[in-house]
Chains A and B, each alone.
Chain A
Amino acid sequence: EDKVVQSPLSLVVHEGDTVTLNCSYEVTNFRSLLWYKQEKKAPTFLFMLTSSGIEKKSGRLSSILDKKELFSILNITATQTGDSAVYLCAEYGAQKLVFGQGTRLTINP
């Protein structure tokens, strides 16, 4: 059965810090790995990664995938209080998206 594991489960930092969120996966028929941000309602899409070693960036957020080691990281630099959310990693394999447990990130002013 496909499995996605995120770490840490919870993280509290100060505004301005840089954070790294981890996602490891065990899947069959891997197609892509996705990152989502969830605040109060449904998740919002951040990144989709399909190839190893190619960093994707969006402002202060970046992500990279290692298909050999089966993991991905999400980096957030110069964190702001608005970055506080649950960050979900998901793997798309056998025609369905399997989510990790999420990392609850709290940014304190």
Chain B
Amino acid sequence: GAVVSQHPSRVICKSGTSVKIECRSLDFQATTMFWYRQFPKKSLMLMATSNEGSKATYEQGVEKDKFLINHASLTLSTLTVTSAHPEDSSFYICSASAGGNTGELFFGEGSRLTVL
């Protein structure tokens, strides 16, 4: 299957700093990428849909100024958590569609963010 790489896999930062997470599709072009957040023992919550060359579409309740998403190329999307606070600590997962209209997504390995 298609490969999606996410980096870093783990990051620890101080409160008030910003953290950038990268999501790359390695062997296919992804016009659309999705960012999810997962709390411990909970399911994946869609944060935003990222489309190459245009502004991301955020889900209700997700602060777009807090979670900056950039999809500058067909193989790279980034999520920046700005002015991180301890409540932003979570597991962030990106996924990408290889095309088609059936919803099969390929997931990155996830990034565990801990804000101290």
Q: Which residues of A are at the interface with B, using a C-beta cutoff of 8 A? A: 31-32, 34, 36, 41-45, 48, 50, 88, 90-92, 95-102, 104
Contact = CB atoms under 8 A, between A and B. Distances in A.
Given A32-B104, A101-B43, A104-B41, 5 more contacts: A41-B110, A42-B107, A43-B44, A44-B107, A97-B105
Interface of B: 1, 6, 32, 34, 36, 41-46, 49, 93, 95, 101-110
B103 A92 contact: yes
Contacts, number: 59
Nearest to B45: A99
A6 B7 CA distance: 30
A37 to B, nearest CB: 11
- Interface majority SS (helix, strand, loop, mixed), chain A: strand
B49 A96 contact: yes
6 contacts: A32-B104, A92-B103, A97-B103, A97-B105, A100-B43, A101-B43
A47 to B, nearest CB: 10
Contacts of B93: 42-43
B102 A42 contact: no
A32 B44 CA distance: 18
A103 to B, nearest CB: 10
Contacts of A36: 107
Interface hub of B45, B95, B103 (most chain A Cβ within 10 A): B103
Contacts of A32: 102-104
Contacts of B43: 88, 99-102
